[in-house]
A and B are shown apart, each in its own frame.
Chain A
Amino acid sequence: MDFIDTRVGHILDGDNRFFGRSVFDDWSRSLVSQLDAMLAALGVREITPINRESLRLISLGLMSPDARIWPLKLTRLIASYGDPAAGYFGGQLVSTGKIMGPGTMVGAAKGLAWIAEQVGEDPSDAVVAEALAAWRARSGGRMAGFGVPFRAHDERRVAVLQMAKATPIERRRHWRLHEQVVLAMVGHEPNCVVTFAGMLLDVGVAPELCGLALSVAMGHVFLAHAVEASTVDGERAHAIPVEQVEYRGVGRRSTEAQKKLG
C-alpha cells in the first residue's frame, strides 16, 4: 500500500513528534502559548516574538463579538440546542465563504502578495499605485479589504494601527505595502482585513491560507458564543414565534387529489 507522507505528527513511545520536533522536549521548551502551535500548523516556521505579537494583535482586533454578527448568530443558533461543540464547529463552516472576513481576507492577501511580487522591495507610492491598478484590472475592479459598513471607520483597524505604532510590525514589508495600497485606494475606506492580510503575510502565512488563519485567530469569539448559547438561548433562538415570520411565497392552493375529496 502506498503511503501518504505527513509531516505533522506521530505518536511514539514516551514522546510525540510534531513538525519534526519532540513534543515533550523541544516543543515544551520553546512553546510560549497555543498561538505558537497555531503558527506552526499554518506553515509558519519562524515562531518569533514579532510573529507572536502580530497574531496577538490580530486576535485582539477580532475581539468584536456582537451576537448579531451573522456567523456568530449562526453559531448561537446551532448551539442553542445544548451542544456547544456543534455550534462552535458548525457555525465556522461559513468561514469557507467569500463574503465574510475569512473569504475577503484571502482576496486581500492574494492582492497584496501579487502587488508585492510586482513592485519589489521599498517601492515608491506611485509604483504601488500602478501595481494596484493592474491587480484591480485583473480582479474585476476589486481590491478586497475595503468598505466599512454602518460606520465611518473600522475601529478594529484604527486600534491595531495604534497598538502597532512604533513597533517592528510597522517596519515589515507587507505592512508598509498595505499602507501604500490604502493611500492609493482614494475614496475607499480600509477595513481591518487589509491590515491583517499584510500582517499575516509578514508572519509568513501563505496568501491562500490567510482566511483560515483569520478563522483560527477569532476562534475565541465563536467559542464564547457557542458556550453561552448552549445554556442560555434555548427555544427563544430556535423556535421563533410565527408572529415574527412574514410569509411571502405562493398563495394557498390544493392538489388535484385534494380537490376531488372536496
Chain B
Amino acid sequence: MKTYTGILDRVDFAERLTAQVVEPCADPRVHGYAVQADLGHSIDLLEFSWLALVGELPSAEARAALTRALIWLAPLHVGEGPTHVAVLGRVAGAPDEVLAGLVTVALGQHIASEQRSLAPWLAWLDDPNPSFDIPELAIEPSPTPEQVQAHAALAADSLRWFGPSRELPATPVLRRVAAGYALLHRLGLRDPLVVQALVTCARLPVALAEAARTRAGAVLSYATRVPNYRYVEEDESWTSSTPE
C-alpha cells in the first residue's frame, strides 16, 4: 500500500471541531442551559428554537410576536412550490428519510425568493420617516372582513410588543406573508440564515403533512399536467462531430 504527502497535508488546519451552541456532555447544554435538567421542563419548542438561534431566551413579547409570525408564515398550499415538491416527491417515491431534505431544499429557495421580493417592504420598515409609500407587494389588495379584523389585532399587538415608534401600520391591511416577515424584522432577526431556519421550522411540518396524506407512487391521482408543459422546437443549428 502506497500513500502520498500533498498540499492539504501541509496546511496548518485547526485540529478540533468548534462547538458554539451545543456543549457535548452527558446532559447537553444549549448556550449554557442544561437540556434534561432545565430546558426540557421550563420552556417550549419555540423558545428553544429562539434560544438556539439568537443565544438568549426570548422575552414574553418576543415569544408572542414570534409565534404570530411563524403561524402566519407556516401554511403553504399544494400549489406553492415547497408543498408541491413534498407531494410530488412522495408520488415519485422519495423515501421518508429523504423527503424532508428534498422539501427543505425547496423551502430554502422559496424563502430566499420571498426575502428578495420583500426587501423594499423591509427597507420601508427600517426608515423612521419613509419617503415612499408602503410597497404594493406588502398590501392585501382586497382583504376579507376576517383579514381586516386580524390585521387590526396584529397592529394593536405590535404596539404592545415593539412600542409606539416601531408598531406595524394599522392601515392598509398587510398581506399575511409580508406581515409575518415584518414581525421577524421587528424582532431584529436580520441574518437570512436565522430567518431561513425559523421559517423552515414553521413550514416543514405543513408541507410534509400534505405528503403524508399522499400515497407513494400514486401517479394517476396526481395532477401531472399542473402546471402544463408543452414541448416545442425551434429551427436550431447543432454542431457536433463524430470521430473520424
Specify whether A and B are partners: yes
**How many A residues face the partner with a CB closer than 8 A?**
41
Number of A-B contacts (CB under 8 A): 117
Point out the residues of chain A lying under 8 angstroms from B219, CB to CB.
Answer: 70, 149
A35 within 8 A of B: no
Q: Which one of B83-91, B130-138, B196-204 is at the A interface?
A: B83-91
Point out the residues of chain A lying under 8 angstroms from B105, CB to CB.
Answer: 78, 86, 89-90, 93
Is there contact, CB below 8 Å, between A77 and B81?
yes
Considering only CB atoms, which chain A residue lies closest to B230 in the complex?
A67
Which of A13, A67, A83, A244 touches B6 (beta carbons < 8 Å)? A13
Which of A17, A77, A103 touches B106 (beta carbons < 8 Å)? A77
B105 CB to nearest A CB, Å: 4
Is there contact, CB below 8 Å, between A240 and B95?
no
Is there contact, CB below 8 Å, between B80 and A240?
yes
Q: Which of A238-258 contact B (CB under 8 A)?
A: 238-242, 244-245
Interchain CA distance A49-B228 in the complex, whole Å: 41
Interchain CA distance A76-B227 in the complex, whole Å: 11
Q: Which of A172-231 contact B (CB under 8 A)?
A: none
Contact flags (1/0) for A91-117 with B, using CB distance below 8 Å? Answer: 001101111100100000000000000
Point out the residues of chain A lying under 8 angstroms from B112, CB to CB.
Answer: 81
Interchain CA distance A17-B6 in the complex, whole Å: 10
B92 within 8 A of A: yes
Interchain CA distance A180-B80 in the complex, whole Å: 48
Q: Which of B89-135 contact A (CB under 8 A)?
A: 89, 91-95, 98, 101-102, 105-106, 108-110, 112-113
Is there contact, CB below 8 Å, between B93 and A240?
no
B15 CB to nearest A CB, Å: 9
Point out the residues of chain A lying under 8 angstroms from B95, CB to CB.
Answer: 96-98
A82 within 8 A of B: yes
Point out the residues of chain A lying under 8 angstroms from B113, CB to CB.
Answer: 81-82
Is there contact, CB below 8 Å, between A90 and B106?
yes
B4 within 8 A of A: yes
Is there contact, CB below 8 Å, between B93 and A238?
no
